[in-house]
Amino acid sequence: MTRSLQAVAYRRPSALESAAGAQRLGLETSRGATPAGMADHPRFFTGFLTSPQVASAGLLAVADVAAARYYQRQLRASLDPVVTGNGDRLRFESFSGCGGVYARLDVLEPGLDGGEVGHGTTNVDVNNPLREALSRIGADDPLHLRVGPEELAVTTLDGPVVEKKVPLPDRWLRGFAEAQVIAAGFDLRAELPAAEAVRFLRSLPRGAARGGPRWVVPAGGALRPTTRAVPGAVCLPGPERLIALQRVLRHATALRVYGPTVAAGADATASAWEAVLPGMRLTLTLSPDASRGFSGEGGVLDALATDEAAEDAELISVLLAWEPRVDVTDLAAAAGLTAERVRAALIRLGTSGRVGYDTAEAAYFHRELPYDAERVERHNPRLRSARALVAAGAVTLDGAGGTVTAEDGHVHRVRDTAGVLTCSCVWWAKYRGGRGPCKHALAVRMVRRGAAVGRETVRVDGGVR
């Protein structure tokens, strides 16, 4: 497993202080991306929170996920949350150390008062003393929020005084990207009113669940448990992983549940659980199993395998403009591309942390993760193996499918079944496409697309276009 050390530097620790009859929450930022390029300690907001206690609880929930491992709990995780200013809202994101839970707190325009929201993305320091102070915020305490350094801090301090170095595995980065791609396939399945949301979440087990995956079926304004997948059901994999929602439970006005379309008897799937709060939303996205992170789901591989998507992603990236809601139709018109190509480009941008996905608005949003995420594509094992097979000339096209001769001499047959490439390899037999294409199917797709591009570059009269 490839990993590196991520150095995150802050000018001072984030802190909650009392001043002039109000609480002042200063969240310190690290180096991050802005419309003007990379900047040290960018400032995104200064103003008041309209629901201080709710915002404090939501921020603590995001920090809980950042510090948690829901699988192999004896190992520690300590990755600071990411903050993005999108002009009309602040988004705080985190990803669990085990790679199976993605959390995001969206502080929307009604939740902010008295200041403009900037544009950009960086890490934000959430330390233990700050966590303790936030947990004591009262319902009536006015709370002034500053995201970024004070005006004089840049000129009066020499260099960072707080530095954290944390391991950053490739599978963690891949998982952060995969979670966005998977969520883009979700639809709203249920919305529970506040009282039913509290009842349901408090009924969930606190410890690791045993047996197979749990499922729930919407029934009126409630969720009814079932032992297997049925049409309309939502998977609840590892229900103990929703523990962070307990932070905001008493403030929630509703609970929304998102998931993919499932057929009877389907395997476990990911799902998203959103607590609707005054002026904000807290969303947790769960991988299909507590022991199974998002990094192996393979949802981004098709987009990564095409040179066309790489070129389209470069074009789309300059049009994003830190928008809080990326409209695919508008992007397609501005770029002169089809909606399908724009979606493929957005998936590719997601692998480098440049877009996220908001299930509540069914739309992508622009952000730039403050990590060396470009290495996700380079170090993706199936993608590397597929490219090696192509380079070795191991692929032979045959009708809509092809054959692939592996390094050990075994020949694998790849077939096109209703637009899905199936394979005779052990990977396909085990997962049946549930974790994306195998390396052999990817290699066939690469060669086929390369052949198609080659044909398109030749005119009927033999000239080159």
What pLDDT digit, counting tens, does each position of 197-214 carry?
999 999 988 776 666 789
Q: pLDDT at residue 304 above 60?
A: yes
Helix (H) or strand (E) holding 454: helix 439-456
184 Cβ contact partners less than 8 Å away, ≥ 6 residues apart: 347, 357, 364
State the pLDDT at residue 344: 85
Rounded to two decimals, what is the model's pTM? 0.84
Q: Three-state SS for 284?
A: strand
Alpha helices of 31-82 — where are they, by DSSP H? 52-66
* pLDDT: which is higher, 451 or 204: 204
- Tell me what the mean pLDDT of segment 124-140 comes to: 90
- Tell me what the mean pLDDT of segment 281-290 comes to: 94
380 CA to centre of own chain = 17
Residue type, 329: T
Burial 122-155 (b: 16+ CB within 10 A, else e): bbbbbbeebbebbeebeeeeebbbbbbbeeeeee
CA distance 344 to 347: 5
State the pLDDT at residue 303: 64
State the pLDDT at residue 375: 61
pLDDT tens-digit map of 151-162: 533 333 344 567
pLDDT grade, residue 172 (50/70/90)?
Answer: confident
Centre a 10 Å sphere on the Cβ of residue 452 and count the other Cβ atoms it contains: 11
Q: What structural domains does the chain harbor?
A: 3-167 (3.10.150), 178-294 (3.10.150), 301-376 (1.10.10.10), 380-456 (no CATH)
State the pLDDT at residue 305: 65
State the residue for tokens 């089809």.
338
Decide: 363 and 381 in contact? Cβ < 8 Å: no
CA distance 236 to 284: 12
Decide: 27 and 145 in contact? Cβ < 8 Å: yes
Decide: 201 and 255 in contact? Cβ < 8 Å: yes
Q: pLDDT at residue 269 above 80?
A: yes
368 CA to centre of own chain = 12
Backbone angles phi, psi at 64, to 5 degrees: -60, -45
Q: Which of 109, 176, 168, 153 is nearest to 14 (CA)?
A: 153
Q: pLDDT at residue 460 above 80?
A: no
Q: pLDDT at residue 461 above 60?
A: no
Helix (H) or strand (E) holding 9: strand 3-10
pLDDT tens-digit map of 367-391: 988 876 566 556 577 888 888 899 9
- Tell me what the mean pLDDT of segment 413-442 comes to: 84
* pLDDT: which is higher, 3 or 460: 3
What DSSP character marks residue 242? G
End-to-end CA separation in angstroms for the chain = 44
Q: pLDDT at residue 171 above 90?
A: no
pLDDT grade, residue 92 (50/70/90)?
Answer: very high
Let me know how many helices (H) and strands (E) the chain has, helices first.
13, 26
Compute the mean pLDDT over every residue in the chain, rounded to the nearest whole number: 85
CA distance 186 to 177: 15
pLDDT-wise least confident of 81-85, 124-128, 204-208: 204-208
Decide: 9 and 162 in contact? Cβ < 8 Å: yes
Give the percent of the chain with pLDDT over 90: 51
Q: pLDDT at residue 451 above 60?
A: no
Centre a 10 Å sphere on the Cβ of residue 205 and count the other Cβ atoms it contains: 11
State the pLDDT at residue 155: 35
Enter the tokens of residue 71.
Answer: 């699988």
Q: Which of 421, 418, 384 is nearest to 402 (CA)?
A: 421
State the pLDDT at residue 173: 77
